[in-house]
């Protein structure tokens, strides 16, 4: 069973110690208003209580910054966890002033997608809910607005049950207080976890990494498709749409000569517009491939003119489609490039 997040443990410990109810408010104010993450520094609390919290719950923060890499609109943070594992988190700045953060949910990943550097690490372990939330807390405490969070960093988010505890924490009005519509969960297709997300967090945005409309080819790119077929996952997404009436985003990574033909575009349109499917609530996001040195296969990005042509084919078929911006590829911070344990770091 997933461990409760830190704030639930604090509340329980304070109750067991007989502390006044307002002490919990003082702790959360220290975290979220006064930007204090260490129990020892929470001056509003009696010294004995600070010592008790620190001795039973540790320092109060689970991450240590090992290195930061900068680029024009993205910064990549290498965090070291308390057991020595490492993860990467990406902070992005849009010209309109929007701040977005790509959070990791696992150290490594066990899904073995052929195009992804993180997959080459294998799965080291799931992150705890605190380790997930502390990536957001790191930026919150430094005064950066948490305009949007996406669980698209290292790992398959829905393979980690601690994600749901983290979502509870992030949307709790007494803690982070984020609107669920500012959160996006990305998955390569785990039906049971998608159904759980639909029930527990129906307003959280959902992105499905599709990458091919053909079952055989998708199984080659994403081995999980052998266990949970595209047909099965799409049926689960249809149920999610019917339950939540929310849009689902289909991420489609364009790989030159692999999945970028007109035949692929036609099959993709047919998939979205299948009889009985609410096509108006499916939106395709075309992604540019970002080269890395660790993926199981070396793929190339199509020419920009061809990317736009693929988009046009989908638009001609009356499919809603966007070519997504890509930030941070020069510092190995873009989609598919995160590889914290081995990747040489650039300051």
Catalytic residues: 88, 335
SS3 101: strand
Beta-bridge partners for 64: 80
DSSP 120: G
DSSP sequence for 217-278: HHHHH-GGGGTS-HHHHHHHHHHHHHHH---EEEEEEE-TTTS-SHHHHHHHHHHHT-TT--
How far, in Å, CA of 127 to CA of 116, rounded?
Answer: 19
SS3 333: coil
SS3 282: strand
Tell me the two tokens of residue 56: 């039973």
How far, in Å, CA of 122 to CA of 341, rounded?
Answer: 11
How far, in Å, CA of 74 to CA of 93, rounded?
Answer: 6
Tell me the two tokens of residue 124: 């080291």
Cβ proximity of 232 and 238 under 8 Å? no
How far, in Å, CA of 24 to CA of 45, rounded?
Answer: 10
How far, in Å, CA of 289 to CA of 199, rounded?
Answer: 33
Distance between the two ends of the chain, CA-based, in angstroms? 39
DSSP 127: P
């Amino acid at each position: 069973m997933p461990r409760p997040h830190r704030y639930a443990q604090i509340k329980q410990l304070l109750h067991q110690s007989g502390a006044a109810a307002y002490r919990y408010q003082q702790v959360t104010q220290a975290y979220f208003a006064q930007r204090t993450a260490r129990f020892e520094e929470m001056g509003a609390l009696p010294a004995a209580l600070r010592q008790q919290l620190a001795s039973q719950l540790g320092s109060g923060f689970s991450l240590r910054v090992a290195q930061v890499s900068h680029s024009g609109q993205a910064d990549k943070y290498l965090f070291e966890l308390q057991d020595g594992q490492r993860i990467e988190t990406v902070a992005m700045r849009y010209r309109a002033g929007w701040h977005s953060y790509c959070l990791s949910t696992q150290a490594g990943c066990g899904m073995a997608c052929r195009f992804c550097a993180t997959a080459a690490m294998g799965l080291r372990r799931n992150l705890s809910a605190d380790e997930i939330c502390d990536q957001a807390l790191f930026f919150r405490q430094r005064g950066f607005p948490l305009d949007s969070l996406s669980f698209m960093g290292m790992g398959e988010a829905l393979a980690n049950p601690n994600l749901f505890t983290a979502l509870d924490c992030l949307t709790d009005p007494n803690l982070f207080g984020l609107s669920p519509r500012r959160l996006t969960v990305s998955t390569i297709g785990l039906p049971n976890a998608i159904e759980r997300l639909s029930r527990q967090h129906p307003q959280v945005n959902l992105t499905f990494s599709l990458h091919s409309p053909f079952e055989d080819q998708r199984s080659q790119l994403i081995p999980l498709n052998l266990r949970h077929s595209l047909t099965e996952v799409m049926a689960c997404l249809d149920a999610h749409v019917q339950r939540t009436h929310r849009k689902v985003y289909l991420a489609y990574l364009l790989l030159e000569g692999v999945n970028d033909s007109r035949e692929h575009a036609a099959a993709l349109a047919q998939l979205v517009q299948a009889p009985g499917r609410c096509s108006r609530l499916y939106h395709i996001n075309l992604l540019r491939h970002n080269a890395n040195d660790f993926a199981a296969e070396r793929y190339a990005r199509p020419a920009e003119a061809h990317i736009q042509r693929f988009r046009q084919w989908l638009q001609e078929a009356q499919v809603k489609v966007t070519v997504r911006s890509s930030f941070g590829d020069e510092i190995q911070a873009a989609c598919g490039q995160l590889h914290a344990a081995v990747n040489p770091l650039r300051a």
